[in-house]
Amino acid sequence: MTALKVNGRTLEVGSRPDRTLADALRNDLGLIGVRVSCSEGECGSCTVLVDGKPTTSCLMLVNQAEGREITTIEGIGTPDDLHPIQEAFVEEQGFQCAFCTPGFILSAKAFLAENPNPTADEASVAMSGNICRCGAYPYIVRSVLKAAEKLRANAAGQPAE
Amino acid sequence: MKDDHGDKAMFWAGGTDMMLHWQRQKYHPEFCIDLTRLDNIGDINVEADKITIGALVSLTDLENSSDRHHLLATLSTVTKLMCTPQTRTIATVGGNMCNASPAADLSPVFVATGAEAVIFGSSGERRVSMFDFFEDVNKTALRGGEMLKEIVIPLPQERQIAASYRRIDRTVVDIALVNASTALTVDGDNTITMAVVALGAVAPVIVRSDAAGAGLIGKVVSDVDDGALTAAGEAAAADAKPISDVRASADYRRDMVKVMVRRSLSDCIEQLKG
């Protein structure tokens, strides 16, 4: 068995070495917020955070993730207690069908940790590794900027709005 | 382990190319030797006479090194064109070299700047110029159980070097249809002492066009006019041996070589004029 640190818990997955991190997260752990679409690292829907960095989990072997902190969409908020980035995506309607949304939110989380006060262009470039086939991009950029606002307000100790 | 298992074992760094080759059944590895836990070849070091880039440096780390040297700033702009932010966190510089794609974005820059590959294996360490490192599509100078350890870019002493990279692509997250990198070295009087033009995606390996560089040597940077840049582009196009494929025709590629070389040289000249 391979032990993975996922969303703050240590969980065991089957250790067949010829499988991807995305496969293990989805099929062994049921974390189906990890969406697999292209399997080639182009679409970004399988994005998870590995040690805080956005990573296409379809291209990483499961054993390479051993011992690293993995965060999936299931680890950053619950339906009753959404993460500020999730709230921002809901408020700004940063999705249509929402298939790609977990990947966008995780990319946004890593990006905003590095750049808490981005311009629209910077947000757009940072989201360039995620494809939204519904074409909700303008709303997604607005969501990221709104999320940045909320996170900054939280950091300053005041609730947003 | 590589020595024991030969072709059945494959080195695995970021794996972003390997995974695709594997999915497409190009390789059939029985063992993947994970290199990502080796810790001493994942650094970038800037010294007075050289820049060393460890094979396991991720594209993200290279991208973030832009304030450490102007050549790293050039490489940083190149990495921004490569794949996507979340794939750059795992993809490595060494992997990009060892995959030996003729369209790889970093390869022509390393060839233009005269970089060397440091290779190590059970019989010790050896050095090969990045120009000789590429032997064919997906084939490198690595033999048997050898591995790429680092890439060393020499820095000229009492002279200045400027490098630039240009490419044409079809869309985002794509490989280059044609790319070119050029490097100009000048002495204290701003006279060009070395001019290297490297072309990608126009042959199975990176092409170095000595004819294109030759016309610029001995000229003072401020005297290089459009005519000289165009002539360099024409000379480079004559050295290119492009093929027609799904991405572009050979004729188009040859035409674009002229444009890429001209623009890349012009970038270098702008940098040197400061």
Which CATH number does the domain housing residue B190 bear? 3.30.390.50
Q: How confident is the model at residue B200 (pLDDT cuts 50, 70, 90)?
A: very high
Last residue of a domain, one of B132, B154, B176: B154
Percent of chain A with pLDDT over 70: 98
A116 close to A99: Cβ distance less than 8 angstroms = no
* CB nearest B32 (choices: A41, A61, A107): A61
Number of domains chain B is built from: 2
Cβ neighbours of A1 (radius 10 Å): 9
- B94 in the same domain as B214: no
Nearest chain A CA: its distance from B145 CA (Å): 21
Q: How confident is the model at residue B7 (pLDDT cuts 50, 70, 90)?
A: confident
Q: Which tens digits make up the pLDDT trace of A98-125?
A: 999 999 999 999 999 999 999 999 999 9
Domain holding B141, by residue range, is: 2-28+41-154
The whole-chain average pLDDT of chain A stands at: 95
- B257 in the same domain as B124: no
- B173 in the same domain as B127: no
Element (H, E) at B137: none
Judged by CB atoms closer than 8 Å, whether chains meet at B34 and A64 is answered as: yes
- B120 in the same domain as B15: yes
- B127 in the same domain as B13: yes
User: How many angstroms separate the CA atoms of B174 and A86, rounded?
Assistant: 30
- What domains appear along chain A, each with residue ranges and CATH number? 2-72 (3.10.20.30), 84-155 (1.10.150.120)
- Assembly ipTM: 0.90
Contacts A23 to B, Cβ<8 Å: none
- B191 in the same domain as B149: no
Cβ neighbours of B56 (radius 10 Å): 24
Last residue of a domain, one of B154, B188, B205: B154
When mean pLDDT is compared across A56-70, B20-34, B70-84, the lowest value belongs to B20-34
- B185 in the same domain as B70: no
The domain that contains B69 carries what CATH number?
3.30.465.10
pLDDT at A16: 82
- B239 in the same domain as B144: no
Contacts B60 to A, Cβ<8 Å: 53
A6 close to A45: Cβ distance less than 8 angstroms = no
Cβ neighbours of A143 (radius 10 Å): 28
Best probe of the A interface among B86, B92, B169, by most A CBs < 10 A, is B86
| Average pLDDT, integer, range B193-220 | 96
**Burial class (CB within 10 angstroms; exposed 0-12, middle 13-18, buried 19+) of A30:** exposed
pLDDT at A159: 62
Q: Which tens digits make up the pLDDT trace of B146-197?
A: 999 999 999 999 899 999 999 998 777 788 999 999 999 999 999 999 999 9
| Average pLDDT, integer, range A10-33 | 92
Judged by CB atoms closer than 8 Å, whether chains meet at A129 and B85 is answered as: yes
Q: Is residue B33 part of a domain?
A: no
Nearest chain B CA: its distance from A83 CA (Å): 21
Q: Which tens digits make up the pLDDT trace of B78-111?
A: 999 999 999 999 999 999 999 999 999 999 999 9
The pTM of this model reads: 0.93
| Average pLDDT, integer, range B244-249 | 91
Q: Is residue B124 part of a domain?
A: yes
pLDDT at A160: 54
User: How many angstroms separate the CA atoms of A147 and A105, rounded?
Assistant: 10
- B265 in the same domain as B238: yes
- B116 in the same domain as B9: yes
Nearest chain A CA: its distance from B16 CA (Å): 6
Backbone angles phi, psi at B114, to 5 degrees: 70, 30
**pLDDT(A87) > 90:** yes
- B264 in the same domain as B140: no
Last residue of a domain, one of B134, B154, B174: B154
Alpha-helical (H) ranges within chain B are 2-5, 18-23, 59-63, 70-79, 85-88, 93-98, 106-112, 130-133, 210-214, 226-239, 250-273
Q: Is residue B13 part of a domain?
A: yes
Q: Is residue B85 part of a domain?
A: yes
- B133 in the same domain as B179: no
| Average pLDDT, integer, range B230-243 | 96
